[in-house]
Each structure stands twice: as structure tokens, then as C-alpha cells.
A and B are shown apart, each in its own frame.
Chain A
Amino acid sequence: MYVEASLALTPKKTKKMAKKKNSNRPIKSNSTPKADATLSRSRTINWQEIKSNPINILLAKFFGLMILFYGLWASPFIQVNLIEPISCAYAFLAGTFVNLFGYSVSIVRDTIGNSDFSISIKNGCDGVEGLAIFLCAILIYPAMVGQKLKGILLGFSFLIMLNLIRVISLYLIGVHVPSLFDVMHESIWQVLFILLTLVALFKWIGWVKSSNANE
């Protein structure tokens, strides 16, 4: 009963309200139709500007790719089949290098060391996130495929070497100046790695621009 009554009343009420709204409109509104049109156009233009700004588009794509990367990175499949082998490879290379200088460390999976000091290469120390930032930025940046491939090849080589230096230096610091290990590990190397990734990226962008200008 109540439902029927309310249903019957609703259209009348709406019509009345609509009439009231229409009758009030010219009196209440201070703006002319022309001003209204300008206002709505300027709102549209601002939104359009934000959407069409090439830097915003690049950043949005970059954010999207980084979210995708972290989604995949945290999955057990990627951790087991990609991240762990990368950590083990770093441990092998770093261990082999320090052994050349007579440190006689043993290498067990992602850990290098001896009875005095040992380090494990875990998530965050494998440099994969730095590589991902670099890769995502190169993928979204407008350049030719050849330029992108060269960037990836050189950039990855640089970042992998840099991370290897990080692992070796941290091991040596741990052995010789253990009091500095935490500061170097937490505060210096992480920041240095992310900044040098950025520098490598800017260098690549610079190279793309200059080679395009030369052509």
C-alpha cells in the first residue's frame, strides 16, 4: 500500500520540483548563457590539457608498468624462478671475485662468506627493482626499437655491474669495517643505486635526443 502510494506521488512531486527549478533559474543564476558556456569549456580544456600533456601520459604509463612489475615480482612463481636464480648468480660472481683476492669464501646458493663474515643476497639487494625502473622508463619513452634495445643492453650491463660492485663492496666492508656495514647497506648503497639508475636513464634519453637531432 505504502509503496503504491509513494509511486503514485513521485511523478507529480518531480514535475513540481522541475517546474520550480526552471522558474527559479533565470533569477538565481548570475551568469549569462555565454559565461556558462565559457566556464564549461574552460573546465573541459583543463581536463583535456592534463590528459593530453605528454609528460603526464608518460608518467601514467610508467606508474602502470611499475604496478604491473610489483604485482608480478611479488608472486611466488617469479620469486622462485627468476629472483632466486638472479641472487644466486650474484653470489656466485661476487664470491668468485673475492676468492681471486685470497678471501677464501664459500658460495652456497645466495650466500657468500666464511666463518668470520657472510652475506646473503636477498630481495632488494639483487638490483631487480632498479632494472625494472630502467626498463619501464625505456619502454614508455618514445624512441626507435634499435635505440631502446641499445639502451636496455647498455643500461642493464651498467646496472648489473653496479650491483655486483655493491655486493662485493658490502662484503669487503663487512669484513674490514663491520661498524659501517649497516649504514652502507641501508642508507648509502640503496640510495646510490636508485640515483645511478636515474642518471643512466637521463643519459639514455639525452643520447636518444641527440641522435635524433643528428639524423
Chain B
Amino acid sequence: MNNLSKFLIKHLGLFFIIYTAILLVVQFGGLKNNFSELFRKNAISLFGTFGSGGEVQFKKDKNKDNVYDVLAVLSSKQQKQNARKEGVKKGLKQINIKTVKFPINSWNFAGMLIVFYLVLIVVTPMKWVQKILPFILGMLFIYLFTNFKIWVSLLLRFSEYHERFQVGLEYGILSKIVNYTYNIISFPFFGLVMVLLIWFLTCFNKIKLPEDTIELAYDS
């Protein structure tokens, strides 16, 4: 076994020890619930009102049989106004509106990416001082990426029910682009690939290999 193989096995092993330890803490130490709560609060503060008149509630998904922990409930001011008008016309005292709900797995959306990147940075063989900037940049990227994902998901749902909510995009090229984008970014693996690319960008050329190991980077 050459030095490169030893090096790779050592760091892969280290990654999985730390990653599994964090997973155990997240799963059984209650961190997953705390993260879910944080995710909900962030989503409410950023997307509680959406576009021109859209309203979104992010509730706890209490169904314990599924993997989802957050439930986004969509409605709109226009929808409520129209319902009120119709109710008054019909002489009703109360009228129900149809909301649209979609579940979110906050762990898949963001949590896993954060832990993955965090451990990747920790096990990357470079000086601790050099790890600070990649860590900050990566976390910033994950935060922006997660919110972009939420925004695209909401825009797509509002657009699907544009007639009901009068929010979002009407059917056309833009709504198709949003749909296409959603099809790509909605898969958790895409998030991992993005995180890996950020790691490549911020850490790849700073990796210090053992002296007698061949250089990984391309020699100019």
C-alpha cells in the first residue's frame, strides 16, 4: 500500500468517525429537533410573506411516521379577500379557504450539508488558521443555498396554484425554468455535490500531502 492510499484511508476513516459521532449526537442528543426549530424560525422570518400577497406558515409536521419535520402551508391575501367577498355575497358567517401544504425534511434540506462540510473541513489536512475562511465561506454558501432552495420550492408551489393564490408565476417560460431548477436542486445529493465543489474551490490547493506522496494538483 503506497503513501497515498494510507493517506486517503486515514482521512476517510477520520471523517467517518467524526461524522458518525456528530450523527449520533444529532439523532439521539435532541439536536435534530433544535435544528428543525431553527430552520422553521429562519424560514418564517424570510418567507412568512412571499411575493405580492403570498403568506406561508412553517409548522411542525407532527406525523412521526414520515421523514418530514416541517410543513409549509401556503395561502394568500388575494385568496382570502376573494373568499370574504364570496362569503358576503352568499350571506355566510364563515368560509373556508383551500391552502396548499408541502412537507420539508429540514435535515436533508440543510442539516446534512452543514455537518458534511463541517467534518470535511475538520479532516482536511491543512493548518487550522487556513480552515477559518473556507469554513465561513462554506457556511455562508450553505445558508444562501438552503434559502434559495426554499424560495424556489415556494415559488414553484405558488405558481402551480397561481389561479387560486394570484401569487407567483403564470404558466410560461419562467415557470418552466423554475420547475427545471427545482428538479435539479431538490435532490439532497445535489447539495452534497455543491458542498464538495465549494470544498474543492476553497481547500483543494491548500491540501498538504506527505512529503513522499505525489502531488494531487496539476503541475503547470
Contact = CB atoms under 8 A, between A and B. Distances in A.
A39 to B, nearest CB: 26
A59 B218 contact: no
Contacts of A194: 189, 192-193, 196
A53 B206 CA distance: 13
A198 interface: yes
B188 interface: yes
Contacts of B12: 195-196, 199
A192 B201 CA distance: 21
B174 interface: no
Interface string A43-65: 00000000011110011001100
Contacts of B197: 62-63, 66
Contact of A198 (B23, B190, B196): B196
Interface residues of A, number: 38
Interface string B83-113: 0000000000000000000000101100010
A58 B189 CA distance: 22
Contact of B218 (A55, A188, A190, A213): A55
Contact of A133 (B15, B105, B187, B196): B196
Q: Is the interface of A mostly helix, strand, loop or mixed?
A: helix
Nearest to A208: B214
Interface in A192-207: 192, 194-196, 198-199, 202-203, 205-206
Residue in B184, B189, B190, B216 whose Cβ sees the most chain A Cβ within 10 Å: B189
A203 B188 CA distance: 26
Contact of A124 (B4, B189, B219): B189
Interface residues of B, number: 39
A66 B193 contact: yes
A199 B13 CA distance: 12
A58 B27 CA distance: 38
A198 B218 CA distance: 16
A183 B28 CA distance: 12
Contacts of A59: 200-201, 204
B184 A54 contact: no
Interface of B: 2, 4-5, 8, 12, 15-16, 19, 23, 27, 67, 105, 107-108, 112, 116, 180, 183-184, 187-190, 192-193, 196-197, 200-201, 204-205, 213-220
20 contacts: A52-B220, A54-B220, A55-B218, A59-B201, A62-B197, A62-B200, A74-B184, A129-B187, A129-B190, A129-B193, A133-B193, A142-B218, A183-B23, A183-B27, A186-B107, A190-B192, A195-B15, A202-B4, A203-B4, A206-B2
Given A54-B218, A206-B213, 13 more contacts: A59-B204, A70-B190, A129-B193, A133-B193, A191-B112, A191-B116, A191-B192, A194-B192, A196-B12, A202-B216, A205-B216, A209-B215, A210-B214
Interface of A: 52-55, 58-59, 62-63, 66, 70, 73-74, 123-124, 129, 133, 141-142, 182-183, 186-188, 190-192, 194-196, 198-199, 202-203, 205-206, 209-210, 213
